[in-house]
Structure formats: C-alpha cells, structure tokens
Amino acid sequence: MTAKITKITAQKRPGRYNIFLDGQYALPVSEDVLIQFGLMKGQEVDNELKQKLLVADANSQAHELALNYLSYQLRTVKEMQTYLRDHDIAAATIETIIGQLIEQKYLDDAEYAKAYVRTNMILHEKGRIVLERELKQKGVGPTEIADALTLYDTETTLENGTKLAQKTWQRQAKLAQRVRQQKVRQTLQQKGFTGDEITMIFDQLDFSVDPEDERDILNVTAEKLVRRYQPLSDLKQKQKFKQALVRKGFSFDDISRWLEEHPEA
C-alpha cells in the first residue's frame, strides 16, 4: 500500500518533524532522517519505506540520547549499553548505535582505560589493584586494562602511596603508634596498593613517635576507659580494661606501668 506525503510540520521540540500521509498524521522523524531520505511533500511512501523511516528514527533518537550521555564524560561500551537499555532502547537499536559510536571514535575502551588511569593516579591516589577492579566493573577487557596500567610506573606508585600514607598517619595522631601503622597499612590496601608496594612505601617513611607523646595518648585513652570499666578493683573489669588498651595498640608493659602509676584507678 502506497500513500503520499501531504504535509511535513515542525514539532515544538527542535529537530523533530511530523509526517502526514494522505492528510493523516503518520509518524515523527528527526531532522537527520528527514535529510537522509530526502522527504518532501508529494513523495510516495510504501510500507517498506515507512518501516525504514521508523527504524531510522529510532536509531536517530537513540544516537542523540547516547551523545547526550557522552557529553558529560567518557563512557565504556558496557556503560553505554546499560544506559540505553535502561532507557528502553531495543536491543537491535543498541547494537546499531554502539557500532556507530565505536566507528565514530566516541566509544573506545582502550582510550577510556588510559584516561581513567591517568586521572585516578593523579587526583585520587588509587593503587593499581583498585584501578584494575574498577575498570573490569566498567566492562573494559583485560588487554586494554593491562595496556593502560603500564602508564602507572613504580615511581608514581610510590609517590602516591607515600602521600596517602603520610596523610593517614597525620589523621590518626590520637592513636597509639602500632595502631596508627595498622591504619596506614589498611588504607593503602583499600586504595589498591600491593603488599610489595606497601613494604617499599613503609621503608621510605619514618613512623617513630616521641615517647612523651605516646604516654600522653595512653593517659587520655586510659582515663576514658577507666570510666567505662569501673571499678578496676574488680579483676574482671581490670582484665577488660587491659584488653581494650591492647586493642588500641598499647603494650602490656606500658599498660602495667600506667596502672602502677595510677593506683587510684
């Protein structure tokens, strides 16, 4: 069945047009589709062409949606597939759009991975383990990840790890030395640094503390715990008090000495 285009009108939405066939509204198209098919008043449209117009318009709208998503930041192929799927775009259309975006260089997982590594190693002090995990979650393949991680050299790794360790050490100034070191190690592990890298980072730093400062920290911590575990004359309460201080990083010798110096506790 063939019909004739009797009218083409612009929608309120920029770049969108309504096509009327034989005086009746038939379908909407984008400006790209209008130009691509050279649509004009008086042109005949059969069922095959109408179906092509519908498919082309679906692709055009999905392409526009994808470009808008890309306008905020780079995306991986997986992220784009998920985004289009979440917007109820048909699977066949998604496949077409992904192919177009890759061909147009809007999607490139290898370049995305390199940019991701460069940004995160500079701004966020993340280690390679975390970067590898995050890129996997974003759908980047192992080859692309491995290539990108070559940008993260040992010197930069140690520099980032050292900065992170120093900041963590300073933030934990109210804790005992041993616990502070544990916090630093945990933070480095959580940020994705390997065991060997952490060892090298620790070798570059001085985690020594002034004995007087350590005693002050013990005093403050012990006084708080005394109130919690009173009366310390009770053997069970005293044992809990000691265990709590050990968990906070103080040695048995320092704890015993404190108790001797504070018999009133």
pLDDT > 80? residue 235: no
**How far is Cα 35 from Cα 239, in angstroms, rounded to an integer?**
84
pLDDT > 80? residue 232: no
User: How crowded is residue 205: how many other Cβ atoms within 10 Å of its Cβ?
Assistant: 14
3-state helix, strand, coil in the chain (%, to 5): 65, 10, 25
- Name the CATH topology of 2-72+96-103: Arc Repressor Mutant, subunit A (1.10.10)
Q: Using pLDDT thresholds of 50, 70 and 90, give the confidence band for residue 260.
A: confident
Q: Which residue has the higher pLDDT, 235 or 200?
A: 200
Most confident of 31-45, 166-180, 208-222, 243-257: 31-45
Tens digit of each residue's pLDDT (9 = 90 or more) over 88-129? 999 999 999 999 999 999 999 999 999 999 999 888 889 999
The domain limits of the chain are 2-72+96-103, 109-149, 154-204, 211-261
Cβ neighbours of residue 69 closer than 8 Å, sequence gap 6 or more: 75, 80, 83
Q: By percentage, how much of the chain surpasses pLDDT 70?
A: 98
105 Rama sector, left if φ>0, alpha if ψ -120 to 50, beta otherwise: left
Candidates 2.40.30.260, 1.10.287.70, 1.10.10.10, 2.60.120.10; correct CATH number of 154-204? Answer: 1.10.10.10
Q: Which residue has the higher pLDDT, 141 or 232?
A: 141
Q: By percentage, how much of the chain surpasses pLDDT 90?
A: 71
pLDDT > 70? residue 193: yes
**How far is Cα 202 from Cα 186, in angstroms, rounded to an integer?**
12
Cα dihedral angle (14, 15, 18, 21), rounded to 10 degrees?
160
Residue 150: predicted pLDDT: 96
2-72+96-103 shares its CATH topology with 109-149: yes
Regarding pTM above 0.85, the answer is no
Q: Using pLDDT thresholds of 50, 70 and 90, give the confidence band for residue 48.
A: very high
Residue 12: predicted pLDDT: 93
Inter-residue contact 20 to 11 (CB < 8 Å): no
The tokens for 72 are 């905020």
What is the average per-residue pLDDT within 39-61?
A: 93
The tokens for 212 are 């007087």
The tokens for 255 are 């704890």
Beta strands 24-30; 16-21: pairing state = antiparallel
109-149 under CATH 1.20.140.10, yes or no: no
